[in-house]
Structure 1
Amino acid sequence: MKARLLADLRAALKQGGACEARVVRTLIAAIDNAEAPAADAGGGPMTRHEFRGGTAEVERLFLSCADVRLALQAEIDERESAAAELERLGRTSEAAVLRTEAGLARRYLV
């Protein structure tokens, strides 16, 4: 899924699709955030790493297709909820933008 999103991001940037690029970047970030392991709440001692050696990276979590789908659906739900609130406040043009973004994101739920 990330490979498809990255390819679509490149295409959107080449075509000047600012809205689509923004949505795809957000979806990539949502997946990246879902892959991040939970921070250790133990408050143990910090380890200093050499950043050049790649040792500062933490192994990412493996996401199932269902996990990716949940992350993407959360982004869609957030936009639809915000759009409904904006509509309630009479800000219909901003709500329309969010609904368009939700529609673009929905393409990736297949």
Structure 2
Amino acid sequence: MKTRMRADLRTAMKDGRGGDARLIRSLIAAIDNAEAPPARASSGAAEQHRFLSGSAEVERLLLDAERVRAILLAEIEEREQVTAEMDRLDRPDRADAIRAEARLAASYLSRS
């Protein structure tokens, strides 16, 4: 999924679709954040690592398709809530833009 998103990001940037590029970057970041392993309780902020030793490298979590789908659904739901708020505030231009973001995010669900 992230490979497809990164390819779509490059295309959006080449085509000058800044809004789409921002959204895709945001979706990739949400998935990247979920892949981050939890911090170890015993490690302090000042833990020393030898340069280029690889001791600071931590393996990312592997997310299954269902977890990635849940992340995308949460991103879509968040945008739908913002859209409702923009409608309530009588900001149809902003609501339409966010609605378009939700549709683009939803397109990744149908392609998975």
Q: Which amino acid aligns with 1:6?
A: R
Map 1:79-90 onto structure 2 (within 5 A).
79-90=79-90
The Cα shift of 1:53 comes to: 4.4
Measured at CA, do residues 60 and 15 of structure 1 come closer, stay the same or move farther in structure 2, by a change above 3 Å?
Answer: same
Q: Match of 2:65?
A: 65
Query: Which consecutive residues of structure 2, in runs of 5 or more, have no partner in the other structure?
Result: none
Q: Match of 1:38?
A: 38
1:55 equivalent to 2:55? Answer yes
Between the aligned partners of 2:70 and 2:87, the Cα distance in structure 1 is 25
Q: Match of 2:21?
A: 21
Q: Which amino acid aligns with 2:107?
A: R
**Local SS of the residue matching 2:38:** coil
**Local SS of the residue matching 1:75:** helix
The Cα shift of 1:49 comes to: 2.1
Measured at CA, do residues 43 and 10 of structure 1 come closer, stay the same or move farther in structure 2, by a change above 3 Å?
Answer: same
Percent of aligned pairs sharing the same letter: 52
Measured at CA, do residues 43 and 85 of structure 1 come closer, stay the same or move farther in structure 2, by a change above 3 Å?
Answer: farther
Q: Match of 1:12?
A: 12
Between the aligned partners of 2:43 and 2:84, the Cα distance in structure 1 is 43
The Cα shift of 1:2 comes to: 0.7
Q: Which amino acid aligns with 2:103?
A: G
**Local SS of the residue matching 2:62:** coil
Q: What is the number of equivalent residue pairs in this alignment?
A: 109
- For the aligned residues, what is the CA RMSD? 1.6
Q: Which amino acid aligns with 1:5?
A: M
**Local SS of the residue matching 2:95:** helix
Give the TM-score normalised by structure 2.
0.88
Give the TM-score normalised by structure 1.
0.89
The Cα shift of 1:39 comes to: 2.4
